[in-house]
Structure 1
Amino acid sequence: MRHFFVVSGQADDVADAVGRLANYLAGTYGNPVTETHRLGEGDHSLTLLVAGSRKELMPVVCVDDSSGSWLVGVGALLSKQHCADLSGGALADLCRAQRPQDHPVIDQLDAAFCIAAGAVQTGHYRVVTDRIGTQHVFAGAIGQCSVLATSSLALAQVSQPGWNETAVGEFLATGSNYGTRTLFCGIDKLPAASVVSIGPTGIQRQDKYWSIAECDEGSDAPAVEQMASAIKDTIVTATDTLGHPVISLTGGLDSRIIFAAALEAGVSFDVFTTGSTQNADVVIAREIAATHGITHHHLPPAIRTGADVLQRSLLLSDGGQDVIEYARTLQFHEQLCGKFDFSINGSGGEFCKGYWWELLWPRVGARQPLNIAKIVDRRFLVHDWYAALPGTDNRENIKAALIETIRQENRDLQDRPNTMQLDNVYLTLRMQRWQGRIASATGQIWPTVSPFMFRRPMEIAFATVPKERLRNRMSRRLNEYLSPALARMRIDAGGPALPLRLQTAHLFWPSLLAATRKNFGKAGRRLSGGAHDMPQSPQSQPAESCAGLAGFSQVADWRTLKLYDAAALAAFTAPYLAGERPLDKPFGRLLTLEMTARHAGI
């Protein structure tokens, strides 16, 4: 656990709110490490409350007496020394700047982070969020106080808001929330790449300091060479700051790029892969590691989920991620964090691939507005399983909210190529809220780093001409550039990681066969009417393996019963609770909402 809270308002109100938050932390986490910093009095009172499950996980706090400024922050690369370097005059300037989004101190920040900084005795401060919004941070209120928090769940438990019904339906339908929405009324996620000014009455101003529009569209620069150099630099920076990493290695293209870049950078590292012994990722990763003399750690899939694991999953993911699904991830990282200093993964590798661009065919790269309704239907509201629960069948409301969110995120990109517009949808919705929720959760266990999501690799990818990113071209060329021998080794799709050329075509026949089988399978499911089957997790687990379900067997006692038709909910959940259906995503989302309601007391 790792959280900070900034509470501002009138002194007595602030003291009461901080006391309630401290009681919540003690009651939830037992005996966490906490610090309290009181930085104002009277009507301009402000208090920082920081907490961690152990001292090395504590948020960074710097109070500079000479300039009268303070800073609190979290982030994988945000060290005490880094924050000390930021504090003082530069930080005081940021707090006073008329255009804070242009302040040079922001250029010193990269990867996933959030910092809040202000001047002592004013009650006002500014928050800087990372460029993707990976590190989740929320604004809300406790009584008359404005509160900035890294946990919406903690805020909800103390402030007792109502459900945001649109967000509840959105979570059931997609497994995430988007835009600034959370499950709770009056608690909002701060936007990405922003400097947000906050005072005792709440948010006063928001300024964007970065946008995908800044990337030089269609750059003719040698992107592969630049990208390889940028990724190596991020890995060196991370290892210099954090120590010895373990890299997530699979049978795919992205993690192989990270592996090859780490080899080229000359850093020391191990690798790990999750899955069964026969899993293609495990088999291929083991071959790659053995060939290059790197120690490989195989983590078998976690198949049992007790009540304690589910509760840790809920608290880490803040009620914003399927607790059964994330329970697997947290167990893997809990096994690794005692052996290594941090982990590296290939998240964001999609930026090199023109992800979702098939939805633009045959007008890929055209300067025309997106068909937003099509994007929502094909990439967000793919399944309609929740229609079986009367009371949650508000698909049109959810769709309208998603369309408006995308419209707002893309409002300054209407004259840009549709590829950039769709990249921005993927970046600001999928990566910010879904991947960001997982990263924010795992960052509370130990530091995690995603080199593709640092500023320079990200901007290089988005500036590359569309034809160089289509059909994994850039990813394959990166693999070949970094290590031709490694690129010749097979990937999980069956062929090599090399680009497809006349002289390499003979190596691709296994992937051609795999793609043919996959397409026939899709066609068969459509013909059999299976297009809207229940979304199954790749590792959906049998109900009897989840000991944590014991307290949820009586649906009539669920706190969330009021959100649904009671009879429909009982009928829908009965096969899961009886062990007749694997614990898939629909049930995981229902369980997550119920656990959230019980924990928050709403």
Structure 2
Amino acid sequence: MAGLALFIDQHGSQSTLVFNDFLKQVAAYKSLEMPILWAQGSNCTAARLDAPCSLHKDIARDAMTGSWLLAAGTVIDNAETSPNGSLDKILIDYLNQGEKVFSRLDGQFALILYDGRAEKALVLSDPFGLIPVYYGQIGSQFFLSTSSLAVAKVVHSTFSEFGARSFIVYGDTFGDTIWQDVQMLPPATVLEIGNEGIRQKTYWSFREDPSITALNEKESVDCIIETLTNSLRHCLSSDGKIWVSLTGGMDSRMLAGLAHYCQIPFKTYCHGPKDSKDVWISEQISHKMGWGYEYFALPEDWGTQRVNWFDQVLGQTDGHLDVIKMSRTIREQSIKARQLGTSLWGYGGELYRGVYWKHEFWRRGRTSQVNYDRLMDFRVIPSDCSVLGEGAHWKEALRGEIKSRLQRIGEQQPDWPNTVKLDMIGTALERQICGTTIAAVLGQQRVILPFDFKENVTRIFSTNYKWRTHGRMFRIILEKINPQLAKMETADGGPALPMRISNFYRFLPYWLDSGDKLLWRLGYKVKGKPLWKQRVAGQSGHAYPSSQWLQDTLTEVGKLSLLSQDQMLSAALYDQKWLKGLESGPQVASRVGDAVIGRVLALEMALRSIRNSN
């Protein structure tokens, strides 16, 4: 299933017309067909919206109790030995055992279960909240969906002061939405709506496994190989050939290596400038390994053409991602869908490489204390806050609020090592980009993120941090399961082999790049802005005329008056001098870059979409 919708009237009425109108909005935004079948309960109506790539195409039902269950995304039931997309076993076991069955669920999904005996609806987010579930209320009417825009429309929401500004500057809403009256369900949460009102509870939380922490390096490597291969075989047991995203980086190579090791049929693909290191390395790897490979190039007039994708991108991303960047993603997934319907992506791989605690330096793993200011300086870096009205005020206000939110995540277990605390924060930082992206493409591709399965995360977070430093865990695994693949160059510099004295010279580009990133971030800390343009190791890729494309995009956007200061619904958020300059010339846009412009456009389009319905 590629989307879902739920409507409840807590005053006891069941309005088919209201739900049908809501469902039409969800289908329109997500570019999906209207569903034929609905599921109903006491004061409750729900529906699933399918795409050709959907796994869970049926609504599980129990005629005796009037209970039912539906889901979007990929639900992994660890009690199901032969998964085929059916959700019947989860419903049957819930009716017999209660909510404890939820703790065995894994994957990336949104799920609605109606308990006919108790006349209540239960809505579940996946363990890390990667498929967003949005909800809002107006009067006695409760609306829930995988589309925040559809919910915002029906509850007549305005933008959130924090969420909108945080999105523009950081590209993240940190658990909020861009809407004042639309909430997002937290990870691993059950939202219960019944006769006693609405309440939330957690069905799973990470617990460190001391038996895994005690393993030596070799045992830890075997442990992680076992859990990753088991999860791949389990979740893809009923699929045929799949796509595997492959770049020059470590995470996608690890995923391709595991799929090859598990004898899962796949085809690799890559995108980006033809002369970029990512494209060159991915093509070389695929040819040497004998894998099928496809390169997705962008048309020469992409700067003009991508504007035609903006409306579809807005709906599928809910206005929570940069529409300029995501226009390429949505186009690419649409093309891929003509061949294969399932993709493996390497999101979550950074959690296995110790990326989120690098900045603790010599303190990592030796204390439970986290330097949250350093976390903000090195890992949560904003774009130029001067684009906002009262930029200096909002720079401090946003930083303070975000730091507080991340601190609450890290300190939920004060005795955890700082590496584990920062790993948990890493899952939250990945939620916006990773989760919203895979949810956005559910109409074209069923995307699976094996590195973000809770069983795999539990093992890697429990592993001795020393085995993960500088990607050591992935490097050893690759050398063990596919030595040929490990010997090939990476985009970061050097091979994917473990670093040893005998091959240290091959990693000089890696250390130069790491040093450049460190100094760049220190400069940002001192001056509050980048002191120079970051060095790009190897071939940077200049085949795409990015600056010209941005100018072409702004020309097309100008015809739609999306950035016209006197017509923008979001104009009050920005520094007026900057906004005027943005409208008058490309130099201002080039200074802040595609990402900020893409987010400004996304927010403005989202606000206009809501206004046009009211």
* Alignment TM-score > 0.5, same fold: yes
Q: Which residue of 1 aligns with 2:95?
A: 92
Q: Which residue of 2 aligns with 1:307?
A: 307
Residues 506 and 530 of structure 1: is their aligned pair in 2 closer, same or farther, counting only changes over 3 Å?
Answer: same
Q: Distance in 2 between matches of 1:120 and 1:378?
A: 50
Q: Which residue of 2 aligns with 1:64?
A: 62
> What displacement does 1:516 show?
6.2
Q: How do 1:92-131 and structure 2 match up within 5 A?
A: 92-93=95-96, 97=98, 100=99, 103-107=100-104, 109-120=105-116, 123-131=119-127
Q: Distance in 2 between matches of 1:185 and 1:27?
A: 22
Q: Which residue of 2 aligns with 1:21?
A: 22
SS at match of 2:265: coil
> What displacement does 1:326 show?
1.2
- Code of the residue aligned with 1:560 in structure 2: it is S
Q: How do 1:164-179 and structure 2 match up within 5 A?
A: 164-179=160-175
> What displacement does 1:37 show?
2.7
> What displacement does 1:558 show?
1.2
Q: Distance in 2 between matches of 1:194 and 1:30?
A: 27
> What displacement does 1:462 show?
0.8
Q: Distance in 2 between matches of 1:286 and 1:55?
A: 26
- Code of the residue aligned with 2:595 in structure 1: it is K
> What displacement does 1:170 show?
0.9
Unaligned runs of 5+ in 1: none
> What displacement does 1:74 show?
0.9
Are the aligned partners of 2:245 and 2:343 in contact in 1 as well (CA < 8 Å)?
Answer: yes
> What displacement does 1:135 show?
1.0
> What displacement does 1:555 show?
2.5
Q: Distance in 1 between matches of 2:7 and 2:528?
A: 53
Q: Which residue of 1 aligns with 2:550?
A: 543
> What displacement does 1:476 show?
1.0
> What displacement does 1:137 show?
0.5
Are the aligned partners of 2:48 and 2:72 in contact in 1 as well (CA < 8 Å)?
Answer: no
Residues 8 and 598 of structure 1: is their aligned pair in 2 closer, same or farther, counting only changes over 3 Å?
Answer: same
Q: Distance in 1 between matches of 2:146 and 2:238?
A: 23
1:161 to 157, 163, 168: 157
1:34 aligns with 2:50: no
Q: Distance in 2 between matches of 1:577 and 1:39?
A: 55
Q: Distance in 1 between matches of 2:268 and 2:49?
A: 31
SS at match of 1:557: coil
| Deviation per residue, 1:381-410 (Å, 9 max, x gap) | x23513243255512322232123223323
Q: Distance in 1 between matches of 2:524 and 2:404?
A: 32
1:242 to 239, 242, 267: 239
Q: Which residue of 1 aligns with 2:595?
A: 585
Q: Which residue of 1 aligns with 2:436?
A: 437
| Deviation per residue, 1:327-381 (Å, 9 max, x gap) | 111122111111113111211111211112122122111333322233234322x
| Deviation per residue, 1:261-289 (Å, 9 max, x gap) | 12211121111111222211111111111
1:211 to 194, 206, 209: 206
Are the aligned partners of 2:409 and 2:425 in contact in 1 as well (CA < 8 Å)?
Answer: yes
| Deviation per residue, 1:294-340 (Å, 9 max, x gap) | 11111124633433311111111111111111111112211111111
| Deviation per residue, 1:76-120 (Å, 9 max, x gap) | 3568742122223x13246xx4xx3xx13531x221012111223
Residues 200 and 581 of structure 1: is their aligned pair in 2 closer, same or farther, counting only changes over 3 Å?
Answer: farther
Are the aligned partners of 1:178 and 1:402 in contact in 2 as well (CA < 8 Å)?
Answer: yes
| Deviation per residue, 1:409-458 (Å, 9 max, x gap) | 2343211111111111111x212222111121122321011221123322
SS at match of 2:38: strand
Are the aligned partners of 1:33 and 1:54 in contact in 2 as well (CA < 8 Å)?
Answer: no
- Code of the residue aligned with 1:596 in structure 2: it is A
Aligned residues: 588
Q: Distance in 1 between matches of 2:23 and 2:525?
A: 53
Residues 320 and 442 of structure 1: is their aligned pair in 2 closer, same or farther, counting only changes over 3 Å?
Answer: same
Q: Which residue of 2 aligns with 1:349?
A: 349
1:266 aligns with 2:260: no
Are the aligned partners of 1:314 and 1:592 in contact in 2 as well (CA < 8 Å)?
Answer: yes
1:73 aligns with 2:65: no
Residues 121 and 6 of structure 1: is their aligned pair in 2 closer, same or farther, counting only changes over 3 Å?
Answer: farther
Residues 528 and 564 of structure 1: is their aligned pair in 2 closer, same or farther, counting only changes over 3 Å?
Answer: closer
- Code of the residue aligned with 2:201 in structure 1: it is Q
Q: Distance in 2 between matches of 1:445 and 1:509?
A: 41
Q: Which residue of 1 aligns with 2:80?
A: none
1:556 aligns with 2:553: no
Residues 216 and 387 of structure 1: is their aligned pair in 2 closer, same or farther, counting only changes over 3 Å?
Answer: farther
Bigger shift: residues 447-456 or 517-526: 517-526
Bigger shift: residues 300-309 or 271-280: 300-309
SS at match of 1:356: helix
Are the aligned partners of 1:384 and 1:532 in contact in 2 as well (CA < 8 Å)?
Answer: no
- Code of the residue aligned with 1:161 in structure 2: it is S
Q: Distance in 1 between matches of 2:445 and 2:242?
A: 11
Q: Which residue of 2 aligns with 1:376?
A: 376
Are the aligned partners of 1:242 and 1:341 in contact in 2 as well (CA < 8 Å)?
Answer: no
Q: Which residue of 1 aligns with 2:79?
A: none
Q: Distance in 2 between matches of 1:55 and 1:250?
A: 24
1:232 aligns with 2:242: no
Bigger shift: residues 181-190 or 11-20: 11-20
Q: Distance in 2 between matches of 1:469 and 1:259?
A: 19
Are the aligned partners of 1:243 and 1:341 in contact in 2 as well (CA < 8 Å)?
Answer: no
> What displacement does 1:182 show?
0.8
Bigger shift: residues 354-363 or 56-65: 56-65
Q: How do 1:129-528 and structure 2 match up within 5 A?
A: 129-179=125-175, 181-199=176-194, 203-213=198-208, 218-220=213-215, 222-301=219-298, 303-304=302-303, 305-380=305-380, 382-383=381-382, 385-391=384-390, 393-427=393-427, 429-512=428-511
Are the aligned partners of 2:56 and 2:71 in contact in 1 as well (CA < 8 Å)?
Answer: no
SS at match of 1:325: helix
Residues 497 and 397 of structure 1: is their aligned pair in 2 closer, same or farther, counting only changes over 3 Å?
Answer: same
Q: Distance in 2 between matches of 1:252 and 1:483?
A: 16
Q: Distance in 2 between matches of 1:256 and 1:49?
A: 38
Residues 286 and 417 of structure 1: is their aligned pair in 2 closer, same or farther, counting only changes over 3 Å?
Answer: same
Residues 288 and 414 of structure 1: is their aligned pair in 2 closer, same or farther, counting only changes over 3 Å?
Answer: same
SS at match of 2:173: coil
Quote the sequence identity (%): 23
- Code of the residue aligned with 2:94 in structure 1: it is L
| Deviation per residue, 1:15-37 (Å, 9 max, x gap) | 35313303434765788232453
> What displacement does 1:526 show?
9.1
Are the aligned partners of 1:166 and 1:397 in contact in 2 as well (CA < 8 Å)?
Answer: no
- Code of the residue aligned with 1:408 in structure 2: it is R
SS at match of 1:204: strand
Are the aligned partners of 2:57 and 2:85 in contact in 1 as well (CA < 8 Å)?
Answer: no
SS at match of 2:86: helix
Bigger shift: residues 434-443 or 512-521: 512-521
Residues 91 and 519 of structure 1: is their aligned pair in 2 closer, same or farther, counting only changes over 3 Å?
Answer: closer
Q: Distance in 1 between matches of 2:28 and 2:336?
A: 27
Q: Distance in 2 between matches of 1:131 and 1:139?
A: 18
